[in-house]
Amino acid sequence: MYRALIRYLSLVLLGLAAAVWIADQAYIQRQSEVPGLEARLISEALKGYCEVNSCRAGNMPWPGLEFSRMSEFSLPENETKELARGRMLRAKSSTNENFYYVKIDDLIAQIGPFDESSQVENDWHTELFYLLLGVSVFLCFWPILRDLHQLKLAATRFARDRDPQHFRFPHSSFFSPISEAMIWMGNRLARSLALQKELSSTLSHELRTPISRLKFSVNTLPATGEEPTKAEMLEDLHELDQLVSEYLTFARQESERPLLDFSQVDLVDVVARLLDRLGQYSGKRIELIAPDSLRTRADIRSITRALKNLIENGIKYAQSEVRVGLYDDSGEVVVCIEDDGRGLEGEAFEDLFLPYVREKCVSKISGYGLGLAIVRKIVDWHGGHIIASHSIALGGARFELRLPDSPWEFDSLS
């Protein structure tokens, strides 16, 4: 945001400076033509004077005018031709004074000197003008910059504790209407989150109790030869219980500020343990490509949950092979998970990280579309990002998780 604003202000300043500079140069050019115009007027007056009176070599009765014979001048041939054509020549002395020369009959009239050093001496006026212009523009934009900074801090604090009062600015602020709208939005959001939390609590108590009761009842049914039906009922109840658990986990992460415990975590060790545990009975070939150690600052509990979801998805949707790679890329820790499954359809891969969104080609495989949404939330907590794409190596799906070396920690916000 600040870079874009600074670029905009720079363009405004450059535009103003360019316009003023062009006008200033035009003025300087016009001023530089004044002595030449005066000399030309004087030369015309001299020609008229010499037509009436006889002009001779020597000083004229007026200061700044002197006649000399052509033979007394040793000029280059081209300048001599210019004088012969009636054109005026200008010469500058070592003291920055200008003299103008014009041919009148057989004489050369010297007109001057014209002192133009005053223009150079007055250049500080232009520099002062530019300085005052820059200061004026900065003072005009400073309140906007200040309020933008306050708005950014308020949004950061609101993300931490959900208190809409952070958006309350002074009435003199340029962003007072925006702050009022943000307070209204914050109150609505707080009520929505409270309602969501209440709904989660209701699901936890009101749904899990009858599910557990049904499980117990099914398990205590006498053996009557209906074991397949009993197994199907238990499977349905287990699926329902798992759906409730997934929803509660997602709702908790969506509405509550996490208490993350950031520490140095060896992701190679975390991934290796997950692969040993999840791939042991999968029947899939799992390949780990990683250095001996790859450390970053992370909350080990939540990052393990995110990696577990990604690895479980890879194993679930793979036909025979899963490949997990870890490496460091210019200050970012990268975890790449690929499989040889059916892959991803279309190009709207970002939609996969929305709640309850699943690929159509895997609709027959168990799942609820919350796993990747939970992964995205955890990655956001760590200041990283996750990318979904096609796997060129294996032909299936590819998920690339990137974490910075210094993640954004909630507890460090001020």
Q: Per-residue pLDDT tens for 162-205?
A: 777 777 776 656 667 777 777 888 788 777 777 766 776 676 66
Task: Give the model's pLDDT for residue 51.
Answer: 65
**Is 50 exceeded by the pLDDT of residue 35?**
no
Is the model more confident about 209 or about 356?
209
Closest CA to 261 of 301, 209, 207: 301
Q: What is the mean pLDDT of residues 253-278?
A: 81
User: pLDDT grade, residue 150 (50/70/90)?
Assistant: confident
pLDDT above 50: residue 413: no
What is the percent of the chain where pLDDT is above 70? 63
Q: What is the pLDDT of residue 74?
A: 66
pLDDT for the residue 340:
92
Taking the C-alpha atoms of residue 300 and residue 306, their distance in angstroms, rounded to an integer, is 10
Strand order in the sheet with 285-289: 285-289, 321-329, 332-339, 397-404, 385-390
Range in 34-38, 251-255, 353-357 the model is least confident about: 34-38
Superfamily of domain 262-412: Histidine kinase-like ATPase, C-terminal domain (3.30.565.10)
Phi, psi of 388 (to 5 degrees): -105, 140
- Which pLDDT score, from 0 to 100, does residue 127 have? 72
Res 335 pLDDT > 90 = yes
> What would the mean pLDDT of 329-344 be, rounded to a whole number?
89
Band (pLDDT 50/70/90 cuts) for residue 410 is very low
- If DSSP codes are grouped into helix, strand and coil, which group holds residue 363? coil
The more confidently predicted of residues 245 and 32 is 245
Query: Mean per-residue pLDDT for 361-388?
Result: 74
The whole-angstrom separation of Cα 363 and Cα 360 is 5
Which one has a higher pLDDT value, 35 or 210? 210
Q: What is the mean pLDDT of the chain?
A: 74
pLDDT given at position 155: 80
Residue 275 pLDDT greater than 60, yes or no: yes
User: Which tens digits make up the pLDDT trace of 279-326?
Assistant: 887 888 999 999 999 999 998 888 998 999 899 989 988 999 999 999
Q: Using CA atoms, how far apart are residues 183 and 167, in angstroms rounded to an integer?
A: 6
Which residue from 106, 42, 113 is spatially nearest to 68, judged by alpha carbons? Answer: 106
What is the mean pLDDT of the segment spanning 326-337? 90
Q: What is the mean pLDDT of residues 213-218?
A: 77
Task: State mean pLDDT over 103-128.
Answer: 65
Residue 337 CA to residue 247 CA, distance in Å, equals 24
| Fold topology of 128-257 | Helix Hairpins (1.10.287)
Per-residue model confidence (pLDDT) at position 290: 92
Q: What is the pLDDT of residue 246?
A: 66
Does 414 score more than 50 pLDDT? no
Give ranges for CATH 1.10.287.130 in the chain.
128-257
What's the rounded Cα separation, in Å, for the pair 111 and 62? 10
Kindly give the pairing relationship between strand 65-69 and strand 89-92.
unpaired
Tell me which of 61-70, 224-233, 257-266, 328-337 is least confident.
61-70
Contact assessment for residue 204 and residue 222, using Cβ atoms and an 8 Å cutoff? no
Check pLDDT > 70 for residue 278: yes
Q: What is the identity of the amino acid at 171?
A: H
Q: What is the pLDDT of residue 209?
A: 74
pLDDT tens profile 228-240? 777 777 777 776 7
Both tokens of 178, joined, read 């925006």
> Where does CATH 3.30.565.10 sit in the chain?
262-412
User: What's the pLDDT band for 141 if we cut at 50, 70, 90?
Assistant: confident
Per-residue buried b or exposed e for 302-317, using 16+ beta carbons within 10 Å of the residue's own CB? bbbbbbbbbbbbbbbb
The angle formed by the CA atoms of residues 16, 21 and 25, to the nearest 5 degrees, is: 155
Report the half-sphere exposure of 261 (CA within 13 A, side-chain side): 3
Q: Is the pLDDT of residue 412 over 50?
A: no
pLDDT at position 272 is: 93
